[in-house]
Amino acid sequence: MIAQGLEVPSLADVTDPTARQFLSFANQTHSDRRALAACLRGSRQTLSLAEVSRIAVPVLVAVGSKDQIAGSPQELAALIPGAQALEIPNRDHMLAVGDKVFKAGVLQFLKQRP
């Protein structure tokens, strides 16, 4: 998916949603596409269902309602003991973190922690 974003001349030429968001981010930040792709590939770790169910720290799963990459925050939070889900309205994968709903949700989540 990301490979498509490495080779195309413009965002208009990208059809895959993940590659489109990757290329958009790389363009906005003036990042080296190949270096950014290498960092993204190296940072991904897949956990088994058993490993996810053993997570013992407070977790807030925050996802934009228009995010086509992350999936359902409710479904992931349901797999992690004590986790909470936060859906950020009308935000995609790239814009969710900067949203005021995200910021307020994180502050509220942290206030609940001992």
What tens-digit pLDDT sequence spans the chain (114 residues)?
A: 445 445 666 667 777 777 777 778 778 888 787 777 776 665 567 888 999 999 999 999 999 999 888 889 999 999 999 999 999 999 988 888 888 999 999 999 999 987
Helix-then-strand count for the chain, H and E: 6, 2
Tokens of 93: 């994968």
| Pairwise CA distance, residues 82 & 84, whole Å | 7
SS3 55: coil
| CA-based nearest residue to 82, from 46, 103, 109 | 109
C-alpha radius of gyration, the chain, whole number: 16
